Chains A and B, each alone.
Chain A
Amino acid sequence: MIKRGYYEEFGGAYIPEILVSTFDELEVEFRKAKKDPGFWQEYSDVMSNYSCRPTPLTFAENLTRYFDGSKIYVKREDLNHTGAHKANNVMGQGLLVKRMGKKRVIAETGAGQHGVATATMAAKFGFECTIYMGEVDVRRQRPNVFWMERLGAEVIPVTEGSRILKDAINEAFRDWVTNMDNTHYVLGTACGPHPFPEMVSYFQSIIGKEARKQVLEIEGKLPSRVYACVGGGSNALGIFSGFIDDDVELVGVEAGGKGLDTGMHASRLSSDDASIGVAQGYKTYFLQDDDGQMKETHSVAAGLDYVGVSPILANLNESGRVRFESATDSEVVEALSLSIKKEGLIPALESAHAFVQAFKEAPKLSIDDIIIINQSGRGDKDIFTVADAFEDPKWKEFIIEKAEEYHA
């Protein structure tokens, strides 16, 4: 077995023996691709003609004026095809699948963005596709389920465990240990066994590469701070990677759910509730009890509702290179509302976590400071959740009427 990726004490590859050969194959193929100068070119070509890259770095003029502190820029990952940074990782892994000659892809999904991106990639490249999604998430993200199925994917609701993202990951692994010969598991975030954290961050680094270049072109200097939401951690690692060697403060924002003191959250690094453990094939901070059993997590944003966190981020937390904060569900809804009204930007509920923290800090900075918020995805897919959060009466009325139409 090939030496596994560790980031100080985090990471590794804690995998059942049956998958060892499959991981070895993936590792070899990834190394070859990474060394091949044509591969990154092929990848960025696909991303530019299929997914709107480079995505813009938008100056949020009205928010800047409103907070009267630093200049606020927003990196527009929401403008990727399928509406989130997930496309970056998925198209990259899709190119690897072609190289490996496999014909089927599987994926887990929480918010559904990664599932939609994977189903889209499968449609484009001609792969069979199965998506595992927790039953709870199927319910709260129906529009994404609809699109995955239209795109030809089979969506399997996972009824085990807490029926959210981690359980979908377990089921995807169970599929993979059976079908690894023709199947690649497109893991959606920078978690899981080596080489996934490294590979997913590698593809997502396109965000940071662009953002660094763009801010230098526009402003002629680097930002003071960069904000990103953190579920598994892939969009954060993507944008942070562009500034990791610079004197730029990097801020990851986790799901504070109903508040850190309620226990109903998904803050692994910004709360004291998580501890180091090994699950889902890697070592990191998990929200778990003293026996090592995983706890229930909570967030208004399905994509952040996860017990573990990228081992790369766990290490960057330990070293102090990245600062971690959390945003509560209600703060998130407020920040979302403000972004919509002031800038006409509709961040996903996940991404809105990064906006919360940026909004807290921007007023304390000066106009000479620049901050960048990574808008990892667009929020219009959250229409049901957002409408509930806003308690929008006209929306409710519409849904009731629509339901009656179906009954008629």
Chain B
Amino acid sequence: MTFDWTTFALQLVNVLVLLAILRHFLFRPVAAIIAKRRAETQAALDAANTARAEAEAATARAHTEAEASAAARAGVLEKAEADAEEQRRKLLSSAHAEAERIIAEGRAALTRDEAAATARRMAQLRDLAAAVATRALAAQPAGPQGYADRLAATLRAMTDSERAALLKGGNLQLVSPDDLPAATLKAAQDALSNYGATAQLTQDPDLIAGLELRSDSGVLRNSLAHDLDQISSAMQDDRASA
């Protein structure tokens, strides 16, 4: 066995050359691509961390804005409630004033209406009174003698039974508002005597004018007061039916 120094030298050179070749064509490119991938991975991680930080900051900002919005909303609501309350108060005050004005106007109108109604009623009463008086006066006979004549005519117009019931009733009286003239009283008593009855004269100022025959069983109306009542009742019935 010998040691070939030439081969040793060549192999030494060969390995050094191979070292240079592999360093250039294998290890450097592979190490570079590994470093590049690590850099990209680190960049992606940094970007992800940055994005996460930004997302967290955005979330914090969103929370802050949400809280601010909630506070603003509460403020707006509170202001709106205050405004609404103020508006309600104003409306109520205005409504009260308007109601009071309407009530005052109503009361004034009522007062006016009542005055007008009273005036109308007074006018109606005046008209009624005038009509009643006109009618009554138109239906009245002329003077006490006329009443005596109308009493006699009424007696004659009554049926025998009605007349007998009136005349036999007892306490038979001739009633006038004041003293009658003698002729008139005589004429009235004569008319009674035709049927066998007598009566004393009594006075009743409420009759106003006229001559009535009263007994315990009835009254023969023949007076201005009675006519006024009759006419007034008839006119009130007519107004009611109208």
Q: Do A and B bind each other?
A: no
